[in-house]
Amino acid sequence: MPANLTQQYLKAEEEYRRATTSDEELACLQVMLQEIPKHKGTDHLQAQLKSKISKLKKELTAEKSSGKKSGRGLRIPRQGAGTAILLGGPNAGKSQLVASLTHATPEVAPYPFTTTVPAPGMMPFEDVTTQLIDTPPITPDFVESHMFGLIRSADLALLVVDLGADDGIEQCQDVIDRLSTTKTRLAATSYLSEEDVGLSFTKTFLVANKIDAPDADARLELLHELCDFDFREFVVSATEGTGLEELRAAIYESMDVVRIYTKLPTAKEPDRDRPFTIRRGRTLLELAAQVHKDYAKGLRFARVWGTAVHDGTTVKGDYVLHDRDVVELHL
């Protein structure tokens, strides 16, 4: 990591990874280029940023003149606190997991390739929801090109291993191997490569599924012997529900957001039903912009009730929000 990267740079980098449109990507890269400290040590990174920007600009111009979107493929709009994408070989239980964790009803079947297109579902946790994306299997010879964009922009990947079949471990290793030949890879935490801004790593949990199946324990032991993953591991049964509540909480925590309840100055109580979620460490100004695009400009101050301040404290735009803050915006 080059020294002295500013907060703005790091924030733009994080948003670049999570961008779901070319316009968003371009805007983030431009901030990164503007914010990067200009010295010898960052020459390489500066050059990379410039070339990415000019490539994206060309793509966008081509898109505009041809009137059709480039081949970036499928984009699924973000919803809820964040996005986790399920990955794995055929029959690992990805669709069953999405069904068990959400109210979605994907097709679950005892034969491979039942899921043909990525499909989102919303997973509730306490009073918020997180988006889960069910996907077709990744195999050594095939992965849909639109999967890469989805994996890069996800906050978390769930790599599902089938403990119910002897080839489950191999199929899981195949997913890692297939991705390791591309610029979209899995890791214990999310980050962009220092040497190559195009090389992106998505935070991953290993989800060992079907622990209820005969010989599943032995396969789990074998998995530990054969693979030296550093992913956090969850052992579950999607059909029986074993381990799912721990997984659900960990998925939500990985989104790294805080919940904010907004309240009108005239109201006695905040809206407790649907909190806003915003990345941990972000400020009041960013919340205002999320509530309404005009609010960030018009914000004068806010009053906050929460754990970090005395009840009703008056704060400015730079106030860092805390989980479960009640915020009254004054415009």
Ligand X SMILES: Nc1nc2c(ncn2[C@@H]2O[C@H](COP(=O)(O)OP(=O)(O)O)[C@@H](O)[C@H]2O)c(=O)[nH]1
Using CB under 6 A as the criterion, which residues of the chain lie in contact with ligand X when the complex forms?
Answer: 88, 90-96, 108-110, 114-115, 137, 164, 209-210, 212-213, 237-239
By CB under 5 A, residue 153 contacts Mg ion? no
Q: Which of 48, 83, 102, 115 binds Mg ion (CB under 5 A)?
A: 115
Query: CB neighbours of 157 closer than 8 A, spacing ≥ 6?
Result: 84, 85, 86, 87, 151, 186, 202, 203, 204, 205
Residue 150 binds which entry of ligand X, Mg ion, none, CB below 5-8 Å type-dependent: none
CB of 100 or CB of 184, closer to ligand X: 100
Contact assessment for residue 16 and residue 59, using Cβ atoms and an 8 Å cutoff: no
CB-wise, 28 or 238, nearer to ligand X?
Answer: 238
Q: Phi and psi (nearest 5°) for 120?
A: -90, 155
102 binds Mg ion (CB under 5 A): no
- Rounded alpha-carbon distances, angstroms, from residue 116 to 122, 161, 171, 254, 278: 19, 19, 18, 27, 32
Q: How far is the CB of 230 from ligand X (least distance, A)?
A: 23
Yes or no: say if 321 and 287 are a contact pair by the CB < 8 Å rule: yes
Nearer to ligand X, 80 or 93 (CB): 93
Query: Of 137 and 275, which has the nearer Cβ to ligand X?
Result: 137
Minimal distance, residue 69 CB to ligand X, in Å:
28
Count CA atoms closer than 13 A to 276's CA, side-chain side.
Answer: 24
CA 157 from centre of chain: 8
To Mg ion, the closest distance from the beta carbon of 115 in angstroms equals 3
The option from Mg ion, ligand X, none interacting with 15 (CB < 5 to 8 A, set by class) reads none
Q: C-beta of 144: minimal distance to ligand X in Å?
A: 14
Query: Looking at beta carbons only, is 29 or 108 nearer to ligand X?
Result: 108
Tokens standing for residue 155? 């906050």
48, 83, 95, 204: which one binds Mg ion (CB under 5 A): 95
Q: How does DSSP classify residue 243? A: T
Q: Is 43 left (phi over 0), alpha (psi -120 to 50) or beta?
A: alpha
Residue numbers of the site for Mg ion (CB under 5 A)?
94-95, 114-115
